[in-house]
Amino acid sequence: MKAVVIRRYGSPEVFEYEDVEPPKIKPNQLLVKVHAACVNPVDWKMRKGMLKFITGNKFPMIIGFDLSGEVIEVGSQVTQFKSGDAIYGSISPLGGAYAEFAAVPENNAALKPTNMTYEEAASVPVAALTALQGLRDLGKIQPNQSVLVNGASGGVGIFGVQIAKAYGAQVTAVCSTKNIDFVKSLGADRIIDYTQQDFTQELGQYDIILDAVAKQSFSGCKQALKPNGIYVTTLPSLESFVQIILTALIPGKKATFILERPDTQDLVYLKELIETGKMRSVIDRTYPLQELAAAHTYSETERAVGKIAITVAN
């Protein structure tokens, strides 16, 4: 099969498009013919070696987490899927989606939303699960709460706005001037243009702050939280680890971070939101698998509005 592999960490030029052996599935896995994948910041951070404490130095390596495609074969312990099913999901912890075929754990997949293309579906899992689990599991979101999403036009942010609205929250979205109309179209109740206004200077406004782009800190956002408000970041730092530990020990405002966890039931919930029109994906650009280096280069500008999709011809 064709795949994009790396043999060392580095810039996008380390990608090599070549023939490799198809994966062999385990009893709890699906062999999926990949139709589309997606670029997330975690992918290029992995490619750069920023996550080598997880990935190690075992090369060649195929990275990429999000995918959608068709089930070709199921393992002996698989009960939820059959050959021919159209699915979407993610591969963790090491990836493998940048290829014509991928081995996907059964519990990391769900049937693809019927009203989405493969590219649209592949753009959902990691980002939308991050937003869902951050707001629901860590933020304990409730109807009528006040939620702020920082980085509302980015990959996690677009889903954060829509999921918070689906839970009945009042949503404030932070973005740049050029993305105001786009973010309004996602359902945000209020927009803050960060080039004109600093949301961290507001006093006691929010029950939850979802820092979808990890550009702020708990200490910076603290005064904008209500007395029992919760700050959720997508990228922990040394400072945030300290704040997470400290705030866990005392009553009041909390700091926490979200590490997305693939889960079939959560993917089914997201599928229901999509099929009932409460959530959509937004694709900024689409690249063929052979041009993955260009896709990563664009992702690293952090200027994408929504997601970057990868088509896989097979």
Pick the CATH number of 2-124+281-311 from 3.30.750.80, 3.90.180.10, 3.40.50.720, 3.30.1550.10: 3.90.180.10
Ordered strands of the 170-175 beta sheet: 190-193, 170-175, 146-150, 206-211, 225-233, 254-257
Q: Mind listing the pLDDT tens digit for each residue in 208-259?
A: 999 999 889 999 999 999 999 999 999 877 777 888 888 888 899 999 999 8
pTM above the 0.85 mark? yes
Token pair of 208, please?
Answer: 């939850």
C-alpha span between 182 and 172 (Å, rounded):
14
The DSSP line for 129-182 is HHHHHIIIIIS---TT-EEEEETTTSHHHHHHHHHHHHTT-EEEEEE-GGGHHH
66-74 vs 86-90, strand pairing mode: antiparallel
**pLDDT computed for residue 239 by the predictor:** 76
Among 51-65, 90-104, 119-133, which stretch is predicted with the lowest mean pLDDT? 51-65
Q: Any idea which fold 127-257 has?
A: Rossmann fold (3.40.50)
C-alpha span between 49 and 53 (Å, rounded):
9
Q: Mind listing the pLDDT tens digit for each residue in 260-275?
A: 999 999 999 999 999 9
Domain ranges of the chain: 2-124+281-311, 127-257
